[in-house]
A = this chain, B = another copy of it.
Amino acid sequence: MLEDVIKDKCGVFGIWGVENASQYAYLALHNLQHRGQEHCGIVSKSPRTFYRYYGEGIVQDAFSKKILEKLRGNAALGHVRYRTEGSSNIKNAQPIYADTKNGKVAIAHNGEFANWKRAREKVKELGHIFQTNSDTEIVLANFAFAPKESIEEIIRYSFRKIKPSYSIGILTENELIGIRDPRGVRPLVIGKLGNAYAIASETCAFDIIGAKYIDEVKRGEMVTINDAGLKRIQLSPPEKERLACIFEHVYIAMPNSFSFGSKYTNSVIRKEFGKQLAREHPADADVVVPVSDSGNSAALGYSEESKIPFDFGLTRSHYIGRTFIEPTQQLRDAKVKKKHSVDKSVVEEKRIVLVDDSIVRGTTSKKLIQIIRDAGAKEIHVRISSPPYKYGCYLGVDTHDKKKLIAYTQEDNEKIKKFINADSLGYLSLEGMLKNEFLSKEGFCTHCFDGIKKISRR
């Protein structure tokens, strides 16, 4: 994934029952940082008070010791998010906090309500004001309009007309709540740390704080965490068909995270994608080179299956600063090169299999192929460990504009191959992808590849 285009919407983490809970959130958000680097926020709660802080950029830059110390209490909810065009406004940072007739509440959301336009208009009609650009506020509006009953009933009311996708953490005055939509589109997992419980978008968030991954939040489930421990309620019956986002397995989630109930980390799944890719699109070549780091696991799999040796032909810089000064015309490919360096000894005079997880716009691929060619590669056979990324996402990954997707704008793969100037190009087939034995068998959303929308936008 040439990661300047597709970015997952968010990462969520919540914990209840540890001293200095905000410190746990800080660390966990660091391990979820790949899910969003524009804004981050933490809301913490002492018995009586909510504290909150929001910053720009990555967690390690936005939070200071002083700020963390002010975020007191034994419960915390955190969020990272990425930039959507035209809305780089810190008021959109999450967790969104609100003081409502049903109590104080903070909410952190990963996903996108398929029917958000309609749902937004409806709560606007009821008098809700949207202070953020986020559909997340719809839930808060419902929360506030709900009759004063048990928290379970309030939550049920809040989500009754909301269509997936959503994986949401809610911090109320009395509990931490995790909710996942009945289709299970976006991930949400439960961890345990001593007597405390936590929820997170990915299991890697638990690793850094020493918590143990115990289960997914189930489809349509609401988990409630407070001093009494963990309570699990099936809020709505799970839909027959799960629609877990296959792209989490392909690219979004960390390789060492367990996603969607698979017993295997994503790296294992991705390696198998690579093996299948090798079966479907063999190549007569000398070396398998991953686009680091997104193509690493698939490339290993391709190599294992094809018996073509794996090697690091591209090195990724560790030193990316806040701003990169656009160089003059003569230096125009510096922008790609500042991130990726070619290893001449690995590629020179070689026939390369270049493995990546996907191609989005194609422009970066084109440049990358050029600099590998400049380093002396004889042939470059591009292999992509997922089908053509053609239709973008309507459920929470920011690629609404299909017209920017090369697989959408180009007639066929031959045209894409020409555009990026590869010697050959092979994509993993949709069937090949889905028969991966390490995937859970419960069903996936594959809209970005096949364009089929199974959730109504109304």
Contact = CB atoms under 8 A, between A and B. Distances in A.
Interface of A: 18-20, 23-24, 26-27, 30-31, 33-34, 37, 52-54, 57-61, 63-65, 68, 89-91, 93, 96-101, 121, 124-131, 140-141, 143-145, 204, 207-210, 254-256, 258, 264-265, 267-268, 271, 293, 296-297, 300, 304, 309-312, 315-328, 330-331, 333-334, 337-338, 341-346
B61 A100 contact: no
A342 B256 contact: yes
A60 B124 CA distance: 36
A100 B130 contact: yes
Nearest to A37: B319
A112 to B, nearest CB: 17
Contact of A331 (B24, B96, B121, B342): B24
B100 A255 contact: no
Given A325-B26, A331-B210, A54 B91 contact: yes
A204 B344 CA distance: 10
A296 to B, nearest CB: 6
A325 B90 contact: no
Given A33-B319, A208-B341, A127 B128 contact: yes
A418 B261 CA distance: 38
Given A209-B334, A255-B312, A312-B255, A319 B131 contact: no
A53 B89 contact: yes
A254 B315 CA distance: 9
Given A23-B328, A52-B91, 11 more contacts: A20-B328, A26-B327, A27-B331, A27-B338, A58-B321, A59-B321, A100-B127, A100-B128, A127-B127, A267-B312, A296-B312
Contacts of A209: 331, 334
A343 B265 contact: yes
B124 A141 contact: no
